[in-house]
Every structure is written in C-alpha cells, then in structure tokens.
Amino acid sequence: MIFKNIALLVGLVSLFSCGQNQNEQTSQVEVDNLIESIPTTPDTLALSKAFKDLQHNPKFIKEMLLDDGFAAMGEIDEERLFGDLNGDGITDAIIPYMVNSRGGGNNWTFHYAIFLGKEESKWNYVGFFNRGGSASEYYVKLDKIDNGQISGYHTQSSNSNYQMKDLPATYIYQNGNLVKTYLKLHKADYDDSDFLHIETIQTSNNQNISIVGRFKDYQNILGENKVEFPEEEPEECGSYYDYEDFAGFVYYPFLTMETNGSNEAAVVDITLNGSNYKIQTNKGTITEKTQLNEILSIFGDQIEINYSDNNKNKIVDLRIPTEENTKDAWILFFNEDTGTLDSLALLMACH
C-alpha cells in the first residue's frame, strides 16, 4: 500500500512538472514575441548626460553667452522630440531649453539643441536653433518629427503688440541647423508693414539662395554661367546697380540676376511656375501654388493692381514695396485664369 501511494505521488509530481515546463516554454515564447514587438526607445539617461555635458563645453558657453556670471540655463524636458532627422535610420533628438538673466536683467531666450543619435546609446551634439525670447513678437514651437520633416507652429509671445493666430510651420535638419521650409501666409507683423521682404529663395532640394550676394556663391549653388550684356544700352536708372557699375545679366533656369563690376549679384526675376522653388518672406512662404486671393487678403487695397495681356495670357500684377518707406517694389505676376503665381520681378524706382 505504501509503495502504491509513493508511485501515485511520483506520477502526480511528474504530471505537474511537465505542465509547468510547458507553461514556462510558452511564456518564454510570448515574452520573446513581446520584446520583438516593442520598438526600441532612445537612451534618455545618456541624452540627459550629453545635454549636461554640453553646458560645460567652451564653444557652447560662448555661443549662448553663459559666462557673464548671471545667465542661467535649464531644459524644458516635457517638450523633447525624437525621430530620424538625417535619414540614417537612427533616432535623433531635439531638446528645448531656456537661458535667462543674461547680464543680470529680466530677459530670456528659448532654443533647441540638436543631437544626432549614434550607435551604443551615444549622442552627438551638432548645433542649436533659436526659437524666440523676451524681445520676440512670436516664438517657435515644434511638436513632431516624421520622415525628416519637423512640424510645429509660430505662436504669439505674451508681450506681442499685435494679434496673430498660431501659424503652421515645417522645418528640416540641414548642416547642424533647422531650416524653415514652410510658414503659412499671414498678415503684417505691424499695422504699417505692408511690404514684402524676401528672406531667401529655396531650391527644390532646399538650398538657400539669397537675394543679394557674391556672384561666386551663386555659381557654387547654381553652376557656372556667363554674364551677358543686354543688346540695348540699359537706362540710367531702374536697375539694381547704378548705371556706372552695371556689368550685365546672368540667366539661370528660373532666376535672372544683375551683376556689377565688383562681381556682386542680385536676383531681379524669379520664375516660380515649374521650378518647385519656395520663397520665404516676412509674410510666410510663397510658391507657384500661392493664390491671388491669398495675397490680396494680406495686403488688401493698399497695393497697386494692374491688369494686362501678356503673350495672350491674362495677367494680374501686384506691386508691393520691398521695405518700408521705399518706391522699390516686387511685382507679382498672377495668371488670371488659374489664380496662381507665375513669377516675381524686382522694379527699382528712379531717384
């Protein structure tokens, strides 16, 4: 009887042991599958250390003016952004931070520190982006990184003296900086600023072209091209450069420039139709998709509007001053049938 009970006990132990081993194997498979399904997260502790180390970097201290004995710096860690900025498949990070009390005064500035991710949980600081401060009318708020595009908006500062809704904006990472690629068109920053200041022209691959610069720099971006003197002698006024210094025109696809005797150059005509160019201005981003009614809603009836027939196409042109208190103007040519922007030309007033 004793032997029978022992045999029964051994059998029960074996039965439960087999069931336990089977459950352990099943659980292990489930754990392995769970681990594979959870995306890897960036090492935030290593990132925090990299950011703290940055505050002891002499170059960074000089850039941020942190060595005056008053300035204080702190991270806004609830607004960290993670995503692939440079297309290498590794998670990168943008850290917002604030610097205040420079010079002992009541002032502050907001910035983003840009870190590219590296293998083995290492972070490489590559640069910073200024996003506004106590003297700014607005500041930049970024909220998402998706396929290299950083989306966010420009929002009004508390000390602003004009009313502005949040304006959608997008940026990309480029050479240690965040480059604006889009900002929604909006009304003037100030009531009396009915002018169109072009900050930069962006090519289809987001290279920036300034309105005025060295001819050599333009050639580095657009390729070498020759200077052509017009068949007819230019008039003594109306060109960007003075008559005595005028050297000729340079014609690139979508861009026309004037040059002078010192090898300086200025963009005087921009063709948007078919170029995929973007023009960043003080009123937002202008492209070939910009509608006539968008521009009219911003500038209203305070600009000169002309209607003409050009090559059998109905054209509407708007003349908008290039800056305050000037007669120099950008002429925006719209196709009346489509309502979209064809080109811009610079009209210099005779003085």
Condensed to tens digits (0 to 9), the pLDDT of residues 118-128 reads: 877 789 999 99
Question: What is the pLDDT of the chain when averaged over all its residues?
Answer: 83
Question: What integer pLDDT is reported at residue 160 of this predicted model?
Answer: 58
Lowest mean pLDDT among 186-200, 257-271, 278-292: 186-200
Read off the pLDDT of residues 67-84 as tens digits, 9 standing for 90 and up: 988 999 988 867 899 999
The model's confidence at residue 110, banded by pLDDT at 50, 70 and 90, is very high
Which range has highest mean pLDDT (15-24, 168-177, 310-319)? 168-177
SS (H, E, C) the chain: CHHHHHHHHHHHHHHHHHHHHHHHHHHHHHHHHHHHHCCCCCCHHHHHHHHHHHCCCHHHHHHHCCCCCCCEEEECHHHCEEECCCCCCCCEEEEEEEEECHHHCCCEEEEEEEEEEECCCEEEEEEEEEEEECCCCEEEEEEEEECCEEEEEEEECCCCCCCCCCEEEEEEEECCEEEEEEECCCCCCCCCCCCCCEEEEECCCCCEECCEEEHHHHHHHHCCCCCECCCCCCCCCCCCCCHHHEEEEEEECCEEEEEECCCEEEEEEEECCCCCCEEEECCEEECCCCEHHHHHHHHCCCCEEEEEEECCEEEEEEEEECCCCCCCEEEEEEECCCCEEEEEEEECCCC
Judged by average pLDDT, the poorest of 126-135, 255-264, 334-343 is 334-343
**pLDDT score at 303:** 72
Q: Is the per-residue pLDDT at 284 higher than 90? A: yes
User: 4-50: per-residue pLDDT in tens?
Assistant: 443 434 343 343 344 444 444 444 444 344 334 334 456 889 999 99
pLDDT for the residue numbered 290: 95
pLDDT over threshold 80, residue 227: yes
pLDDT confidence of residue 78: 76
Q: Higher pLDDT residue, 304 or 170?
A: 170
pLDDT for 169 beyond 80: yes
